[in-house]
Amino acid sequence: MERSFLNAMTSSLLGITTLGALAFVWVTPGSSKGTPATPEGGWRLLDPVKHENISIFPVVSASAQDTSVFLTLDEGLSSGEVLVSEQGAAGLERTRDGRPAVIPDYNRTSASVNQLVLVNRGKRPLLLLAGELVSGGKQDRIIAKDRIVAPGSDPLPLDVFCVEHGRWSSGAQFSAAKTIVHPSVREQAAIKQDQQEVWNAVAGGSTAVAPPAAPEARLSARAVTEAITVEAPTQSYKNIYEKGRVGGSVDEFVDQLQKRFARATSGLKGEHVVGVVVAYGGEVAWSDIFASSDLFDHYWSKLLRSYAVEALARPTLREVASSDDAREFLRHLNGRETQESEPGVYRWRETTQGNLALIELDALQPKPITLHRLLLHRTS
């Protein structure tokens, strides 16, 4: 599924700003008027997996990329290869297996809501996805944007968003939550990058606008408020959406989807699932695609749960998106492009066109490869 995103950039450069080791580039493409939609190469869309108001289209590929060189956040935190702490926190902590681990005090800055400190002590580059949750510290946080952290690097100031509005007190050591927040929250972090909007999405369920006279969502804003009052007084994302009655409803929904997805993707010959396109009712809304089936398999369980939460938080519309609409969702966008890069490590690109936003994360070593592609229909 390797693509030549990194080879040519025919757009006109408007400006470059450098901050530390990162370079930010704004690019304006040429006119796309009259240009037909260009489908991505090497992908095939299977028939949708349907349940109530959600349709999940598996994306399969016959080509394979080796992504074993990359470490994921869950793996790194569980093994102790990755350490996360509040700013200004120094001292001795212990990894899951009991080995001592020093959290360096890299500066004297006090703890900050929107910044943590991350150390990659492993031997592999660390892959981070926007919306992944780390639990503990003074508040639970989510990763602000996709990026790669080189192995053996200095302590990294890591941009994050809080998803536990009502707590600011010392908690347990940060650990792998094995959770990625649902699309409405993830959008506010990855695209709008606004802390208040992240909090609003956590407390409100879905940010999608319901059609007139649409039936009430099973996980309405009222139901979320009740869950906060009874089970999540600190407005912790995990306590709201993974425990109690809400968590039970999500579990049942996920179980149905998982069984149907497994049946739909069994028996593939020479192809592997590398991603999905997700529709709610008749609206194709979201897509996560990875460079390999191994990466997809690693993230699939927590992505599926995130899609299920979003489905329950949207109206129970019975319309079904067409396969043609889902295939159209895989096209290249022609719009304004923003880039961020760390030389020799990664390149992050965001392209916006109308209500669509595309984010692609390219690893630059050991060879150029697009590790993750996120495309979404913005709700706000």
Q: Is the pLDDT confidence value at 17 over 60?
A: no
Rounded distance, CA 146 to CA 159, Å?
10
In a domain, 327, yes or no: yes
* 3-class SS shares of the chain: helix, strand, coil, % to 5: 25, 35, 40
Residue 135 CA to residue 156 CA, distance in Å, equals 18
Q: Exposed, middle or buried by CB within 10 Å (0-12, 13-18, 19+), for 13?
A: exposed
Who has greater pLDDT, 214 or 62? 62
Q: How far apart are CA 149 and CA 128, in angstroms?
A: 8
Average pLDDT over residues 10-26: 37
Label residue 97 by pLDDT band (50, 70, 90): very low
Residue 306 lies in a domain: yes
Residue 33 has pLDDT above 90, yes or no: no
pLDDT at res. 138: 93
Question: How many Cβ atoms from other residues are within 10 Å of residue 164's Cβ?
Answer: 24
More confident residue, 32 or 281: 281
Q: Is residue 121 part of a domain?
A: no
Give the pLDDT of residue 176.
85
Q: Averaged over 243-271, what is the pLDDT?
A: 94
Q: Which of 329, 88, 282, 314 lies closest to 210, judged by CA?
A: 314
Instruction: Output the six-digit token pair for 149.
Output: 């952290």
Which residue would you say has higher pLDDT here, 163 or 216?
163
Burial of 14 (0-12, 13-18, 19+ CB in 10 A): exposed
Is it the case that residue 338 has pLDDT exceeding 80? yes
- Whether residue 173 lies inside any domain: the answer is no
Is 357's pLDDT higher than 90?
Answer: yes
| pLDDT value of position 172 | 77
Paired strand residues for 100: 94
Which residues pair with residue 356 across a beta bridge?
A: 353, 377
Output phi, psi for 255, to 5 deg. -60, -45
Q: How confident is the model at residue 212 (pLDDT cuts 50, 70, 90)?
A: confident
Q: Starting at the edge strand that comes first in sequence, how are the strands of the sheet with 132-135 ordered?
A: 82-86, 115-120, 156-162, 141-143, 132-135, 175-180
**Which three-class secondary structure state does DSSP give residue 165?**
coil
**Chain segment 287-328, per-residue pLDDT in tens:** 999 999 999 999 999 999 999 999 999 998 888 999 999 999
Q: Three-state SS for 153?
A: coil
* Pair 335, 41: CB distance under 8 Å: no
| Residue 313: predicted pLDDT | 95
Return the half-sphere exposure (C-beta side, CA atoms, 13 A cut-off) of residue 261: 26
Rounded Cα distance between 146 and 347, Å, is 10
Tokens in use for 170? Answer: 């010392």
Confidence (pLDDT) at 170: 81
Query: What stretch of H or E contains 362?
Result: strand 356-363
Lowest mean per-residue pLDDT among 98-102, 217-221, 329-333: 98-102
Whole-prediction pTM: 0.85
4 pLDDT above the threshold of 50: no
Give the pLDDT of residue 153.
Answer: 82
pLDDT at 171: 77
Cα distances from 23 to residues 116, 144, 223, 341, 361, in angstroms, run 21, 17, 44, 5, 14
The pLDDT assigned to 41 comes to 53
Q: How many domains does one find in the chain?
A: 1
96: amino acid identity, one letter: R
DSSP lists the bridge partners of residue 94 as 100
Separation between Cα atoms, residue 62 and residue 4, nearest integer Å: 17
* Domain limits for position 323: 12-67+248-377
Instruction: Indicate the residue type of 75.
Output: E
Residue 348's pLDDT band, with cuts at 50, 70 and 90, is: very high
Strands 54-61 and 49-51: antiparallel
For residue 109, the model assigns a pLDDT of 59
- 260 part of a folded domain: yes
Distance CA 377, CA 354 (A): 9
Instruction: Report yes or no: 22 and 316 within 8 Å, Cβ to Cβ.
Output: no
Q: What single DSSP character describes residue 270?
A: S
Cα 341 to Cα 329: distance, rounded to the nearest angstrom: 26
In a domain, 113, yes or no: no
| Per-residue pLDDT, 90 | 56
For the chain, the C-alpha Rg in angstroms (whole number) is: 20
pLDDT at 108: 46
Q: List pLDDT tens digits, range 66-95.
A: 999 999 999 999 999 999 999 876 543 444
Residue 87, domain member (yes or no):
no
In a domain, 157, yes or no: no
